[in-house]
Amino acid sequence: MIPTVPQPAFAKWCYRAYVLVFFVYLALPLTVVCVFAFNDSVFPSLPWEGFTWAWFFGTEDPFVGVFHERAILRSIGTSAFIAAWVAGLAVFTGTCNAFLFVRHSFRGKALLYILMLLPLIIPGVILGISILVFSSSIANTLEDATGLWFDGLRPGLILVILGQYSFITTFATLVIAARLQKFDPSLEEAALNLGATRLGAVRQITLPFLMPAIVASAVVAVLMSFENFNTTLMLVGSDSPLTITMFDKLKQGSTPVLNAVSLLLIVASAVLGLLSLMFQKRKD
Amino acid sequence: MVSDGSKLGFYLLLAPILLWLAVLIILPHIGLFVVSISERVGPREYEYGIGNYVTFFEEPLYWRTFARTAIMSIAATALTLILGFPIAYYIAKLTRGRTKTTLFLMCMIPFWVSELVRTFGWMILLRETGVISNALQYLGLVDGPVEMLYNDAAIMVGLVYTSILFMVVPLVTTLDSLDDSLIEAGYDLGGTGAAILREIVIPHAMPGIVSGCIVVFMLSLGNYLTPILLGGKDSLWFTGMIYTQFITRFNWELGSALGFLLLLLSSAVVFLGLKLSRQSLAETMGRA
């Protein structure tokens, strides 16, 4: 079925109807989440009690809005802190990896490339528990040997950052390496001929060329970090990031304040995602 | 491309990846395996043995949940492929320019949103006081509220929803590269629509189908949120059991063994998928 080959009109309309139904299916859950953020009722469900902004700005119990709900605000801060670290670390390692895989040939390169891809096929829960088990056994050994406490190796922010970093780096590597492959090495050679040092040429010619990929992978890293659940769940300590806080509230059955947070998340991630795509497109 | 003079640079580039892979991927998984073959014989005393794996096979709850998780993940993968293929084909072959970009982006938006939010949306839709139940009552199709949440069908809906993007994107990419004239030639030679689909389109899309299926299967197998939130009291999922052993029961040895089994299953499926389609991990995943 392609445009140049005529098809019965009925089949065509059926196909279009299916595509339409599919997109309704895609949009439906997100739409209801957003709509119920404005329902003037303490449950995120029907009946519709009227329109309200209370779930954003409300201060009176039970109508406490997002901007006055301390637990949620604190967890957004925690998530942002984690995301910034993860994005920074992942982009740095990803850039190094891209140069390594695109510019160098060495023994064991194919094997190292496969190992680099492995985090993609390890379920997030397993990544989480393996890092948990490993860091705890190191902490136990160190504590037995020195008699000191090593809280950084116990569930908490550091482990959450490391856990997310462990698989987000692979995405950063793939995005940046794809861009580096398109780079014309003769540009760098020209800079060298003009008297630039090797490092100077990379900094002034290659890195600016890579910038769109670096920014895009940083944005993707932030998004993935913000929304990660499985790995984080296993490594989280007393400071819980947003997804964990929301999960706890969801299990208890929460007010539509959750819808309001979700709406903000949807808007933020759609904007960030589109920006990163546009940024990548424009520079290509 | 690189002279001996940049040997130092090479090692500096090599350091981060080795550190990352060794400390966060390889050693933790070896550690996980070592813990999984440890048995507790007394307080802080352990012995090596396969007791945890024996427990898994002797306790029907564990291996039944394991099998259930695997079977439902396979079903979710098949369903995602069947539902996603026509969409990918539509985007790749029947739309052009702006429409194509828009449809493609619309497919990706749910992916950017946290899985928690997506699952929450399904809870609002499916629960007894939810939107669909009310709509059905309003239309007069049912008499009282219907509970559609907390069963396996709800889990399926959620799993397919969560992972459909990972099926559609690789399919669109491979179908895009299929030359229209090949399909035209198929029609010219008298092929029916079904024959062309079987002989031309599907063989060409095979790499996309395989990578899509691998990713969707893995995501379903490793999913935690969807089965916990959409499934009922009896709809156990294997990741939930691992969580229980680790966090609730504090039985890390058994939990590690269960985790290792899940890892084995998912690796085996990836390996089989790649072998069957004669592809390598690098080319399948590198496209991501």
Concatenated DSSP letters of B200-241: IIHHHHHHHHHHHHHHHHHHHHT--HHHHHHS-TT---HHHH
Rounded to an integer, the average pLDDT of A59-82 is 80
Residue B4 has pLDDT above 60, yes or no: no
Cis omega (within 30 of 0) on the bond before B110?
no
Q: How does pLDDT run across B96-141, given as a tens digit for each residue? A: 778 888 888 887 777 778 888 888 888 888 887 777 777 777 777 7
Mutate to test the interface with A, among B32, B65, B117 (most CBs of A within 10 A): B117
Cα angle B74, B79, B81 (rounded to 5 degrees) comes to: 95
Q: Which residues of A touch B198 (CB under 8 A)?
A: none
Q: What percent of chain A has pLDDT over 70?
A: 89
Q: What CATH number did the domain enclosing B77 receive? A: 1.10.3720.10
Q: How confident is the model at residue A152 (pLDDT cuts 50, 70, 90)?
A: confident
Q: Is residue B205 part of a domain?
A: yes
Optimal mutation site among A30, A104, A130, A140, interface B, most CBs of chain B within 10 A: A130
pLDDT digits (tens, 9 = 90+) for A217-237: 898 899 889 888 889 988 888
Taking residue B154's Cβ as centre, other Cβ atoms within 10 Å add up to 24
Q: What is the ipTM of this complex?
A: 0.84
Rg, chain B, Cα only:
24
Amino acid of residue A191:
A
At A164 the pLDDT is 92
Range of the domain at B217: 59-285
- A232-279 tens-digit pLDDT: 988 888 888 988 988 888 887 777 788 888 888 888 888 887 777 777
Nearest CB neighbour to B282, from listed A31, A47, A114: A114
Rounded-to-integer distance, Cα B246 and Cα A234, Å? 8
Q: Quick check: B122 and B232 in contact, CB under 8 A?
A: no
Q: Does B224 touch chain A (CB under 8 A)?
A: yes
CA torsion angle B91 B96 B99 B102 (round to 10): 60
**Total domains present in chain B:** 1
- The pLDDT, as a whole number, for residue B1 is 47
Q: Does residue B47 lie in a domain region?
A: no
Between residues 52 and 111 of chain B, which touch chain A (CB distance below 8 Å)?
83, 86-87, 89-90, 93-94, 103, 105-110
Within a domain: residue B39? no
Lowest mean pLDDT among A128-137, B198-207, B260-269: B198-207
What average pLDDT does chain B have?
Answer: 82
**CATH number listed for the domain at residues A79-253:** 1.10.3720.10
Note whether A123 and B239 are within 8 A (CB): yes
Q: Which of B122-136, B208-222, B253-267 has the lowest mean pLDDT?
A: B122-136
Quick one: what percent of chain A has pLDDT higher than 90?
15
Please name the residues between 111 and 170 in chain B that touch chain A, using a CB distance below 8 Å.
112-118, 120-125, 127, 129-131, 134, 161, 164
Answer yes or no: is B248 within a domain: yes
- Structural domain contains residue B17: no
Which of A230, A250, A270 shows the shortest C-beta gap to B229? A250
Tell me the backbone φ, ψ of residue A184, rounded to 5 degrees.
-90, 110
Amino acid A163: pLDDT: 92
- List the single best residue of B7, B11, B17 to mutate versus A (max A Cβ within 10 A): B17
d(CA B14, CA B130): 54
Query: Would you put residue B114 in left (φ > 0), alpha (ψ -120 to 50) or beta?
Result: beta
- At A28, list the tokens: 């439906």
Dig out the tokens for B7 from the structure.
């040997």
In a domain, B32, yes or no: no
